[in-house]
Amino acid sequence: MNLNEFSPTQPVILGFDPGKDKCGLAVMGLDRQLHYHQVVAAQEAIATIEILRQRYPVSFLVMGNQTTAKQWKQQLEAELVQPLNIMLVDERYSTLEARDRYWQMYPPTGLTKLLPKGMRQPPRPIDDIVAILLIERYLNRLTDDR
Q: Are 21 and 42 in contact, with CB atoms under 8 Å apart?
A: yes
Rounded CA separation 95/76 (Å): 23
Q: pLDDT digits over 6-27, tens only?
A: 444 588 999 999 999 999 999 9
What digits encode the pLDDT tens for the residues 93-140? 999 999 999 999 999 999 888 998 888 899 999 999 999 999 999 999
Q: In the prediction, which pLDDT does 5 show?
A: 45
Average pLDDT over residues 26-49: 96
**Residues β-bridged to residue 26:** 15, 37
Residue 55 is predicted with a pLDDT of 93
Sheet holding 22-29, edge to edge: 34-41, 22-29, 12-17, 58-64, 86-89
Domains and CATH numbers, the chain: 3-145 (3.30.420.140)
* Rounded mean pLDDT, 66-95: 91
Q: What is the pTM of this model?
A: 0.89
- Residue 145 has a pLDDT of 63
SS3 37: strand
The reported pLDDT for the residue numbered 38 is 98
Of all residues in the chain, the percent with pLDDT exceeding 70 is 92
pLDDT over 90 for what percent of the chain?
A: 75
